[in-house]
Structure 1
Amino acid sequence: MLKLATTVLGTAVGLIVLVAAGVAGIVSALFGGGDSANASQPSHAALADIPSNYLALYQQAAATCPGLDWSILAAIGKIETNHGRLNAPGVHSGENFAGAGGPMQFLQPTFDSVVARHPIPPGGSTPPSRYNPHDAIYAAAFYLCGNGARDGRDLYGAIFAYNHADWYVSQVLNQATQYKQAARNSGTDTAASPQAQQAVNYAQGQLGLPYVWGGNGPDHGHTGFDCSGLTKAAYEAAGINLPRTAQTQYDAVPLLPKEAPLAPGDLVFYGTPGNIHHVGLYIGAGKMIHAPDFGQPVQVGNIHWPGDDYAGATRPAR
Structure 2
Amino acid sequence: MGSKIAVGIAVALAMLPMLLGAVPLAVVTSLTGTGSTTCTPSETTADSVPGYGQDQLANAAIITSVGKQLQVPEPGWIIAVAVAIQESALRNLDHGDRDSLGLFQQRPSQGWGTPTQIMDPTYAATQFYQHLQAVSGWQQLSLNDAAQAVQRSGTPNAYGQHEATAEAIVAAVAGVTCEHTGAGDCANIAAPTPAALTAINYACGQRGLPYVWGGNGPLDGDAGFDCSGLTRASYGAAGVPLPRTSREQYAAGPHVPAGAPLLPGDLVFYATSGRVHHVGLYIGGGNMIDAPDFGQTVKVEPYRHPGDDYVGATRPTTSR
TM-score category, normalised to shorter length: 0.3 to 0.5
Which structure is higher in RCO with an 8 Å CA cutoff and minimum separation 6? 2
TM-score of the superposed pair, with normalisation by structure 1: 0.44
What is the TM-score of this pair, normalised by structure 2? 0.44
